[in-house]
Amino acid sequence: MTAAVLSFTAPAFAQYQTTAYRASILHFVADPAVSQTPYEYYEDGVLVVGTDGKVKAVGPANTVLNNYPYIQVVDYSGKILMPGFIDSHVHYPQTEMIASFGEQLLEWLNTYTFPTEQQFSNKTYAKGVAKTFINELVRNGTTTALVFGTVSPNSVDALFEEAQTRNMRLIAGKVMMDRNAPDYLLDTPASSYTDSKALIQKWHKNGRALYAVTPRFAPTSTPEQLTKAGQLLQEFPDVYMHTHLSENKGEIAWVQSLFPSSTGYLDVYNSFGLSRNRSVYAHGVHLRDDEFQSLAQTGSAIAFCPTSNMFLGSGLFNLQKAEQYGVKVGLGTDVGAGTSFNAFQTMNEAYKMTQLRKAFVDDPDTVNPLKAVKAYYLATLGAARALSLENQVGSFKIGNEADFVVINPNATDLLKFRMQKTTTIEDKLFVLQMLGDDRAIQNTYVMGKKQTVNGYGSGYYQYTYN
Ligand SMILES: [Zn+2]
């Protein structure tokens, strides 16, 4: 009798606690560059999330719901439900200087970036910006990001503390910078090592937080400091390495003059042991073939940041060459040189970049416009692979953490009007990529929990998603 009761109540109890989300569901299972069937799409689909915040099932509604007869169903019919977007490269301290006029990389750093970053030694100040930054991620459906802090360890504490209030999977690190910047922002090889190590021990794998050793870029670190960065990677083999690479031609020439014995920009990082899995290089706009090859061989990834590359006039990233060499690529916003936190707008610029390449850079016959499926791959599973997180986020693989976004394809009058003329999900994705923005993000979920966006520090800007 007792056994019979248990056998009846146990599964019912388990099902009661899980939640099903019914919508048009899309997620990637492979790179469209190498697979004819890179995604799964269920027009009337269900995503089942367990009480642990992880994916329990995904598939057609009629099939999946049969297996969960007592489940609570949240109905998002008519919406598109996807894994949360992943931002492979962004600077949270630059949130307040996004859209600053007129400069290219090196002048832009001196004119805008360094004075802004000085303020982050003040923890209270850093917390205020961190809150705004994470609100913007949520508002735009971004659930994971690889983030630059500033030289001050306070900047990293402030960001991780804020991310933990939402249980977000964030990767971040303190900038290492001991030359070619104002004195007020410099650390030393010794202090950057000690501070980074303390932050690793405090934050790496603390909840969903992960740490990235973060030399700003080769010109602002001495060989002694890059040696220390390599030492940290040796001592903590599963942390990340996050820096910039070959963004701008003036920068590349500067690196060559600072490291005259190197054979190129990437060679500088390679020579200090900084290239490996979980090494993420922002930009890579002007890489040579042998450098693409080296990135592939070491398992390093590129963060492709089209709005930033266009904004600073840095150049046109060669995505097809990265594909040819098998280099991992994720999409990044690079705010504040990037001009939007929004993945649709970032994919929009990525598409236009391939059109410009076709027109101006390459043999036109060798360049294809970026397909929507590839763009969304780069913003989800591709980015997760670039960050070696594909077993945690980026797709609805069973057991993955249920970070997801609910997209309203009819969010604006123009979207609604244009969507009437679409027939396939790929058409809809492309229209969203061109016309969508944060208004199309109806809800953002982190570990199965619906997020709200509150408080811009001053309390001036407050709303909650409905
Ligand atoms: Zn950057």
Helices (H), 24-87: 61-67
The first and second tokens of residue 331, run together, are: 């999409």
Structural domain includes residue 13: no
For residues 234 and 358, membership in a common domain is answered with: yes
Average pLDDT over residues 328-334: 98
Distance from the alpha carbon of residue 288 to the mean position of ligand 1, in angstroms: 20
Q: What is the CATH number of the domain that holds 415?
A: 2.30.40.10
- Whether the pLDDT of residue 139 is over 70: the answer is yes
User: Looking at residue 99, what is its pLDDT?
Assistant: 87
- For the question of whether the overall pTM of this predicted structure is more than 0.85, the answer is yes
User: Looking at residue 448, what is its pLDDT?
Assistant: 96
DSSP string, 287-340: --HHHHHHHHHHT-EEEE-HHHHHHTT-----HHHHHHHT-EEEE---TTTSS-
Round to whole Å and give the CA distance between 204 and 206.
5
Note down the domain range covering 236.
85-387
Using a pLDDT cut of 90, give the percent of the chain over it: 86
Distance from the alpha carbon of residue 91 to the mean position of ligand 1, in angstroms: 6
Structural domain includes residue 6: no
Question: Phi-psi category of 278—alpha, beta or left, where left has phi over 0 and alpha has psi -120 to 50?
Answer: left
Distance from the alpha carbon of residue 349 to the mean position of ligand 1, in angstroms: 17
Positive or negative CA dihedral for 134, 136, 140, 146? negative
For residues 163 and 291, membership in a common domain is answered with: yes
Distance from the alpha carbon of residue 175 to the mean position of ligand 1, in angstroms: 11
Task: Among 340, 363, 387, give the residue marking a domain's end.
Answer: 387
Distance from the alpha carbon of residue 79 to the mean position of ligand 1, in angstroms: 33
Task: Among 387, 410, 435, give the residue marking a domain's end.
Answer: 387
Supply the mean pLDDT for the chain.
Answer: 93
Distance from the alpha carbon of residue 148 to the mean position of ligand 1, in angstroms: 8
Distance from the alpha carbon of residue 423 to the mean position of ligand 1, in angstroms: 38
Round to whole Å and give the CA distance between 342 and 21.
23
For residues 70 and 95, membership in a common domain is answered with: no
Mean pLDDT check: name the lowest of 57-66, 115-124, 173-182, 371-380: 115-124
The first and second tokens of residue 38, run together, are: 């890179």
Distance from the alpha carbon of residue 283 to the mean position of ligand 1, in angstroms: 8
Distance from the alpha carbon of residue 297 to the mean position of ligand 1, in angstroms: 24
What residues does 87 pair with on adjacent strands? 145
User: Looking at residue 454, what is its pLDDT?
Assistant: 63
Average pLDDT over residues 2-9: 42
What domain count does the chain have? 2
440 in Cβ contact with 415 (< 8 Å): yes
Structural domain includes residue 172: yes
Average pLDDT over residues 280-307: 98
Distance from the alpha carbon of residue 332 to the mean position of ligand 1, in angstroms: 9
User: Looking at residue 106, what is its pLDDT?
Assistant: 85
* 394-453 pLDDT, tens digit each: 999 999 999 999 999 999 999 999 999 999 999 999 999 999 999 999 999 999 999 998
Task: Among 387, 405, 436, give the residue marking a domain's end.
Answer: 387
For residues 174 and 155, membership in a common domain is answered with: yes
User: Looking at residue 362, what is its pLDDT?
Assistant: 74
Which residues 6+ apart lie within 8 Å of 387 measured at CB? 86, 88, 144, 146, 171, 240, 278, 280, 301, 330
Best CA proximity match to 402, nearest among 15, 46, 3: 46
For residues 215 and 310, membership in a common domain is answered with: yes
Average pLDDT over residues 279-298: 98
Distance from the alpha carbon of residue 334 to the mean position of ligand 1, in angstroms: 5
For residues 65 and 116, membership in a common domain is answered with: no
Average pLDDT over residues 297-318: 96
Q: What is the CATH number of the domain that holds 131?
A: 3.20.20.140
